[in-house]
Structure 1
Amino acid sequence: MLEALIIFAAQLILIPIVTIRTILVVKGIRNLAAFIGVFEGFIYVISLGLVFSDLSNVWNMVAYALGFGIGLFLGSLLEAQLQIGYVTFQVNILNRDDELVKNLRAAGFGVTTYVGEGIEEKRYRLDVLAKRNREKEFHKIINTLAPRAFVVSYEPRTFKGGFLTKRMRNRAS
């Protein structure tokens, strides 16, 4: 039974590590992902070795599977807390809204505005790039000043130039 507890605990540690390492690879943070991968491999070999050492022990297999499932859940919670990376928002509004743009910029968001054509009338689009940990702050401003806005968000993998990279460079120096 002690082996089953060790396997379960190992999975609770391993799977959140796998989740974070995968996210780091996708976001291009390869050095840290490789470093974390060393620990991942070590824990993986130990826990799987314990399972394979006695395939007649059903409790070890159950502990592995339960630890895996709960570890996935914990990994997703951890990722939500870390909020690694950036998010891009496209905000579509019916009318030009200089107050909204001014408030977003005053809050430190970089905003680029566009005029487009809808089916019947002009539309206005704002493109905003922000760190993921500022997503709630962004939505609060939008919900207060433009509650009917259509907002689409996605995570960019790479970017170059512009307002945000200039600010990051200034902070580094």
Structure 2
Amino acid sequence: LNNVWNILGYSGGFATGTFVGMYLENRLALGNVNIHVISLKKGAEIASKVRKAGYGATELPALGQSGLVWQISIIVPRRQKPEVLALINAVDPTAFVTVDDMRRVDRGYGRLGK
């Protein structure tokens, strides 16, 4: 801790490694993601469009702050995430969307089946 150059070298290497790792992870796009969608009125339409594109979608009625909403869960390979997000946005640009990384998928529908 007494040598400034050692501290700068360590922190610079750590930051560079983190940046390169994140870049490679995004470029390789390995694994699956779970896309959660909450839509006030167009949940069934979103799920239908996603299914027509060959993905599985589970839709559930839910109670939100403003009343009944639709919650859709879509598990897709990470490489297809932009395509599915575009489908969702085309149907309901106001939908609330979150994306979670997944560690493991056992069984599934369509492109996920193992």
Check whether TM > 0.5.
yes
CA distance in 2, matches of 1:97, 1:89: 13
Matching residue of 2:94: 148
Matching residue of 1:121: 67
CA distance in 2, matches of 1:116, 1:63: 51
Structure 2: which 5+ residue stretches go unaligned?
A: none
When Rg is computed on C-alpha atoms for both structures, the one with the higher figure is: 1
Maintained 8 Å contact 1:129/1:164 = no
CA distance in 2, matches of 1:69, 1:96: 42
Q: Which has the higher contact order (CA 8 A, sep 6+)?
A: 2
The Cα of 1:119 is off from its aligned counterpart by 3.5
The Cα of 1:98 is off from its aligned counterpart by 3.4
The Cα of 1:151 is off from its aligned counterpart by 0.9
The Cα of 1:62 is off from its aligned counterpart by 8.2
What is the identity percentage for the equivalent residue pairs of Structure 1 and Structure 2?
A: 28
Q: TM-score scaled by structure 1?
A: 0.54
CA distance in 2, matches of 1:156, 1:164: 17
Matching residue of 2:44: 98
Q: Greater share of helix residues, 1 or 2?
A: 1
Q: Greater share of strand residues, 1 or 2?
A: 2
Structure 1: which 5+ residue stretches go unaligned?
A: 1-57
One-letter code aligned to 1:86: N
